[in-house]
């Protein structure tokens, strides 16, 4: 679980990609797409299932689940990435 200090640190790193190239959001997303592609359909389905599960946790304020936009906050996004079997190893290997 990320604390607000962790979140602020990550946000600062993302805004300074030349100083923290591994935190560049564009590069992270490109590597994520390559890693999911390399792992195949099972990884894609796992990621989709986990993202929908996280989205449902957000709620609409009336107890009705997520908003359906499939846009996750940073902590939820990282939780999804860490839960896809083998994804972390593939991303770190490149």
Where are the chain's structural domains? 4-93
Determine the Cα–Cα distance for residues 14 and 92; give it in Å rounded to an integer: 18
Count CB atoms within 10 A of the CB of residue 34: 13
pLDDT at 48: 85
Helix, strand, coil in percent for the chain, rounding step 5: 70, 0, 30
Q: Which of 80, 82, 76, 87 is nearest to 40 (CA)?
A: 87
* Tens place of pLDDT per residue across the chain (94 aa): 456 667 788 888 888 888 888 788 788 888 888 888 888 998 888 888 888 887 777 665 545 555 555 566 777 777 777 788 888 788 777 5
């Amino acid at each position: 679980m990320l604390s607000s200090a962790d979140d602020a640190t990550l946000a600062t790193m993302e805004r300074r990609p030349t100083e923290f190239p591994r935190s560049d959001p564009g590069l992270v997303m490109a590597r994520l797409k390559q890693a999911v592609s390399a792992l195949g359909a099972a990884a894609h389905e796992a990621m989709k299932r986990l993202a929908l599960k996280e989205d449902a946790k957000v709620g609409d304020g009336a107890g009705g689940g997520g908003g359906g936009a499939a846009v996750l906050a940073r902590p939820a996004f990282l939780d999804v990435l860490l839960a896809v079997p083998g994804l972390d190893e593939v991303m770190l290997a490149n």
